[in-house]
Chain A
Amino acid sequence: GENVEQHPSTLSVQEGDSAVIKCTYSDSASNYFPWYKQELGKRPQLIIDIRSNVGEKKDQRIAVTLNKTAKHFSLHITETQPEDSAVYFCAAVSGGYQKVTFGTGTKLQVIP
C-alpha cells in the first residue's frame, strides 16, 4: 500500500519568514496530492492540492510543487502569519475509490 513520509515533524518560524514542508510517497499510482491544515480540536481543511499532471500550483501565499519522478511534493508558505500556526498534513490519493493516505503531520508555529 501507499506510504507517505513527511518532514519536519515540527517547524518554528518568525512571522514574515517562509516555511517549507516536504513529503515523499511510494505508490506511483497516486494521482492527487492534497494538503490539509488542522487547527487544534477542529476538522482538517484543504488548503491547496495538486494533480499528477501538474508540476506546480500557487494560491496567494501558498504554493505546492510536485516531482513525480522522484515521488516528492512540497508545501511552501511565504510571509507567514500567526494564524498559519497549525498542524499540516500532506496526503497522497490513489485508486478509483480515492483512498487517502496521510503523512505524519508537521506542527507549524509562527512566532510573532
Chain B
Amino acid sequence: DTEVTQTPKHLVMGMTNKKSLKCEQHMGHRAMYWYKQKAKKPPELMFVYSYEKLSINESVPSRFSPECPNSSLLNLHLHALQPEDSALYLCASSQGFRAIGEQYFGPGTRLTVT
C-alpha cells in the first residue's frame, strides 16, 4: 500500500469553529508532514513529525495545532481560523530521519474559511 489518505476532502468552516483534518499512511513511514498550498503556488511546509515527535514547526500560527497519535496517523486541529487560511492542506509521509527519498502526498483537504 503506497497511499496516503486524507479526510475530509472538502471542509467549510466559520471563523469560530473548531475542526480537524486527518491523515493516514500504512507504509511504515516514520516522518509525516503538513503542507499548505494556495492556488497557483507551491506547497509550503508547516510541520514535520519524526518518530511521532514534532521536529519542525515553520513558525505556524497557534490556531493550527498538529498531533501525531501514532506512527500511522497525523491530525491537524483548526481553531479560530481566518479567511486567508483557506487553501489546500496536503499531508505527506516519507521513510524517516536521514532516509533520503520520496515524499508521498495525500490528495489534500480543500479548506474554505468563511
Contacts and interface: CB of A to CB of B under 8 A. Distances in A.
B45 A49 contact: no
A100 B108 CA distance: 17
A34 B92 CA distance: 14
B4 to A, nearest CB: 8
State which size class the interface on A falls in: 20 to 34
A109 B87 CA distance: 24
State which size class the interface on B falls in: 20 to 34
Contacts of B44: 102
A34 B104 CA distance: 12
Interface string B25-47: 00000010100000011111100
Nearest to A32: B100
B98 A99 contact: no
Interface string A94-112: 0011111111110000000
Interface in B1-53: 31, 33, 40-45, 48, 50
A96 B105 contact: no
A42 interface: yes
Nearest to A45: B105
B43 A96 contact: no
A100 B102 contact: no
Contact of B45 (A44, A45, A99, A105): A99
A46 B43 CA distance: 14
B102 A99 contact: no
Contacts of B94: 98
A102 B43 contact: yes
A42 to B, nearest CB: 7
A23 to B, nearest CB: 11
A12 B43 CA distance: 23
Given A42-B107, A43-B107, A98-B103, 9 more contacts: A32-B101, A43-B106, A44-B90, A46-B103, A97-B56, A98-B97, A99-B56, A103-B42, A105-B42
Interface of A: 31-32, 34, 42-46, 49, 51, 89, 93, 96-105
Which 3 pairs of residues, A with B, have the shortest CB-CB distance? Answer: A102-B42, A43-B105, A97-B55
